[in-house]
């Protein structure tokens, strides 16, 4: 019990911050040029990984060690993506919205809202789209240490989302904005004050409980002092147990993504693969909550007792609810074979069989190479 209590308190003690947001683009050089010339971002680093057929680049308004940045990913041969309806927009703070809008217009960007005061307020804003169709809100503010200041996501249940981001990810609800006249509510979530750091803007539109994820926006990376402890909080049963018994000392658990879109929380188990020179996924699990069941129409009726004196019949039964689903790959067998063979191979080419597997190998302890 003491361990569980300590785990619950962990997010309050952990020094977390937003690191970067990952999304896919159809032309990396074109997007880099647009972001540097229109928004004033700088290229922080860039790499090409031909063996996996992708390139990526990190851009931002300051160093990665202190600022929130974007990670642009280009997959070879893919020129367009579906952004979906769950992702909303990014926001950039600038001292001159009109100047930035004109820079966007001059470079062929799409201005979807001209500069002007926000409805019901005095802040000057504008909306533009980049070459891939991602929307950016431009907000006129004074100097700020974090110009890339917001990521807006649409959620189907705001209270549920707020609870998840607070308890699982240790964020604070900085502000709740009710707009009944426009039929939406916003929750601003973050690790620091809104005008000092990047925040998540969670938007609930009245009556809308489902959004499409698309395949363009990927995830937000969050820094933590201990990724294992942070992952333990959202998945109390350690999924590594199956793999650590095989004595793969370098097996690790990675919190893959935390999104209120297609999956609520997902995990990868990765292990070192010497031949590739990197970690590779050997198991994964995703808690999709009710995302899939809403699309498939899978419901259940709670076994709640009827009120005393109420008449029997369908009209008096509890209303149905959507089921929650889990997607999981217990073991990616081909990759697991690679992992075991490479990690247990000896200098003479033989492979030591991990002790838990020897009973399934007829008692064999070592696989020896055939002599030529």
Alpha carbon separation from 68 to 14, 190, 196, 284 (Å, rounded): 18, 12, 12, 27
Where in the sequence of the chain do the CATH 3.10.180.10 domains occur?
A: 17-220
For residues 26-47, give the mean pLDDT.
97
Q: How many CB atoms lie within 10 A of CB 90?
A: 23
Compute the distance between CA of residue 5 and CA of residue 134 in angstroms, rounded to an integer.
41
pLDDT at residue 299, rounded to an integer: 85
> Has residue 189 got a pLDDT over 50?
yes
pLDDT tens column, 81-136: 999 999 999 999 999 999 999 999 999 899 999 999 987 677 899 999 999 999 99
pLDDT above 70 coverage of the chain, percent = 85
Angle at 156 between CA 201 and CA 288, to 5 degrees: 105
Catalytic residue check, 137: yes
Where in the sequence of the chain do the CATH 3.30.930.10 domains occur?
A: 242-367
Compute the distance between CA of residue 258 and CA of residue 286 in angstroms, rounded to an integer.
10
Residue 236 binned pLDDT confidence (cut-offs 50, 70, 90)? very low
153: closest CA among 135, 131, 173? 135
Compute the distance between CA of residue 184 and CA of residue 154 in angstroms, rounded to an integer.
10
93: closest CA among 132, 56, 131, 67? 67
Q: Which of 124-128, 130-134, 179-183, 280-284 has the lowest mean pLDDT?
A: 280-284
Name which CATH class applies to 17-220.
Answer: alpha beta
* pTM recorded for the entire structure: 0.66
89 assigned to a ligand binding site: yes
Compute the distance between CA of residue 335 and CA of residue 260 in angstroms, rounded to an integer.
29
365 assigned to a ligand binding site: no
> Has residue 260 got a pLDDT over 50?
no
- Please, which residues have CB within 8 angstroms of residue 107's CB and are 6 or more apart in sequence? 33, 34, 37, 38
pLDDT tens column, 155-177: 999 998 998 898 888 899 999 99
Q: Which of 72-76, 277-281, 306-310, 347-351 has the lowest mean pLDDT?
A: 306-310
Residue scoring higher pLDDT (71 or 119): 71
Q: Which phi and psi (to 5°) does residue 42 adopt?
A: -120, 145
Active-site hit among 9, 137, 146, 342? 137
Tell me, rounded to whole angstroms, the distance of Cα 256 from its chain centroid.
Answer: 7
- Please, which residues have CB within 8 angstroms of residue 314's CB and are 6 or more apart in sequence? none
3-state helix, strand, coil split of the chain in percent (to 5) is 25, 35, 40
> Has residue 279 got a pLDDT over 60?
yes
**Matching residue, tokens 């929380």:** 265
Compute the distance between CA of residue 283 and CA of residue 273 in angstroms, rounded to an integer.
14
DSSP state of 345: B
146 assigned to a ligand binding site: no
Longest dimension (CA), the chain: 85
Compute the distance between CA of residue 183 and CA of residue 208 in angstroms, rounded to an integer.
10
pLDDT at residue 1, rounded to an integer: 39
Classified by CATH at the fold level, domain 242-367 comes out as BirA Bifunctional Protein; domain 2 (3.30.930)
For residues 231-243, give the mean pLDDT.
60
Coil, helix or strand at residue 359: helix
Alpha carbon separation from 82 to 31, 213, 218, 294 (Å, rounded): 16, 8, 11, 20
Q: Cα(first)–Cα(last) distance of the chain, in Å?
A: 59
């Amino acid at each position: 019990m003491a361990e569980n209590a300590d785990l619950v308190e962990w997010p309050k003690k952990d020094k977390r911050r937003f690191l970067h947001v990952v999304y896919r683009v159809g032309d990396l050089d074109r997007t880099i040029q647009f972001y540097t010339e229109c928004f004033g971002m700088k290229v922080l680093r860039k790499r090409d990984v031909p063996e996996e057929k992708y390139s990526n680049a990190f851009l931002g308004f300051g160093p990665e060690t202190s600022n929130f940045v974007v990670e642009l990913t280009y997959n070879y041969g893919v020129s367009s993506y579906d952004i979906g309806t769950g992702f909303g927009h990014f926001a950039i703070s600038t001292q001159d919205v009109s100047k930035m809008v004109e820079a966007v217009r001059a470079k062929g960007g799409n201005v979807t809202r001209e500069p002007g005061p926000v409805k019901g307020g005095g802040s000057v804003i504008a909306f533009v789209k980049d070459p891939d169709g991602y929307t950016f809100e431009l907000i006129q503010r004074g100097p700020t240490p974090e110009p890339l200041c917001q990521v807006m996501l649409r959620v189907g249940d705001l209270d549920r989302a707020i609870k998840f981001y607070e308890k699982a990810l240790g964020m604070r609800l900085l502000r709740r904005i009710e707009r009944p006249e426009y039929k939406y509510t916003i929750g601003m979530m973050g690790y620091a004050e809104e005008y000092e750091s990047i925040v998540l803007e969670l938007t609930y539109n009245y009556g809308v409980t489902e959004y499409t994820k698309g395949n363009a926006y990927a995830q937000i990376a969050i820094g933590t002092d201990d990724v294992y402890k942070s992952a333990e909080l959202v998945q109390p049963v350690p999924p590594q147990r199956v793999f650590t018994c095989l004595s793969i000392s370098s097996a690790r658990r990675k919190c893959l993504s935390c999104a209120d879109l297609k999956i609520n929380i997902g995990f990868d188990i990765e292990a070192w693969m010497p031949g590739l020179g990197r970690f590779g996924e050997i198991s994964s699990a995703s808690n999709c909550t009710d995302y899939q069941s809403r699309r498939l129409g899978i419901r259940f009726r709670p076994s709640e007792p009827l009120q005393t004196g109420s008449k029997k019949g369908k009209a008096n039964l509890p209303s149905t609810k959507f089921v929650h689903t889990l997607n999981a790959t217990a073991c990616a067998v081909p990759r697991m074979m690679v992992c075991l063979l490479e990690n247990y191979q000896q200098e003479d080419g033989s492979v030591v069989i991990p002790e838990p597997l020897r009973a399934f190998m007829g008692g064999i302890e070592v696989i020896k190479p055939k002599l030529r």
